[in-house]
A and B are shown apart, each in its own frame.
Chain A
Amino acid sequence: GESVGLHLPTLSVQEGDNSIINCAYSNSASDYFIWYKQESGKGPQFIIDIRSNMDKRQGQRVTVLLNKTVKHLSLQIAATQPGDSAVYFCAADSRYNNNDMRFGAGTRLTVKP
């Protein structure tokens, strides 16, 4: 079945630095990917998504890169701020697999002042 994983369970960065969070997926039919941010005690919050017909998409201070060849995507956060401290999840979905969105375990990002 589908598995979606993250390379590191924790990531610590200095305020103002750029952060990169990585994710790997196993289903080559996955064609839609989402990054979520979850703060303590809250539900996951949508950050950015990307479809498989793109390899890069930018939002406000965030960029998602998709490498379908190696089934890998990354979330880049520019000028990381203390408010970015949270757990970040990637999720993968496939139009050909009943759209049952599957999530990775999450990476905890800690921003040091």
Chain B
Amino acid sequence: NAGVTQTPKFRVLKTGQSMTLLCAQDMNHEYMYWYRQDPGMGLRLIHYSVGEGTTAKGEVPDGYNVSRLKKQNFLLGLESAAPSQTSVYFCASAGFRDRYLYGYTFGSGTRLTVV
């Protein structure tokens, strides 16, 4: 049971380059999330999805786009990377039952450096 898998684990980008981070979960969870973690800032929500084909903005959505074409996958895109997007990115997923989340699970993270 893999849980939540993120790829790649590390990446270095030049300013202005684009890339896509992939998150895959095998728990049949409805909800998926993308967070970024910076030193001393905790986890900040970028975008999230409550189901296949739906996405919503979180706290810090600017400069990022997401897509949830399949229930098990949640993609995070950076169209034009900036040094301010240097961070560790975490994906998470959760099930939803009786209006409550359950089984909230994180991936192991992607360390992105923009130079």
Instruction: List residues of A whose CB falls within 8 A of some B CB.
Output: 1, 9, 32, 34, 36, 42-46, 49, 51, 89, 91, 93, 95, 98-106
Contact = CB atoms under 8 A, between A and B. Distances in A.
A93 to B, nearest CB: 6
Interface of B: 4, 31, 33, 35, 40-45, 48, 50, 56, 58-59, 90, 92, 94, 96, 99-101, 104-109
23 contacts: A34-B104, A36-B106, A42-B108, A43-B4, A43-B90, A43-B107, A43-B108, A44-B92, A46-B105, A51-B100, A89-B42, A91-B104, A95-B99, A99-B31, A99-B101, A100-B56, A101-B33, A101-B101, A102-B45, A102-B59, A103-B42, A105-B40, A105-B41
The list of the 3 closest CB pairs from A to B, nearest first, reads A105-B42, A43-B106, A103-B43
A1 B41 CA distance: 16
A101 B104 contact: yes
A34 B43 CA distance: 13
Contact of A98 (B40, B50, B106): B50
Nearest to B107: A43
A46 B42 CA distance: 15
B90 A104 contact: no
Nearest to B31: A99
Given A43-B106, A45-B106, A106-B42, A100 B58 contact: yes
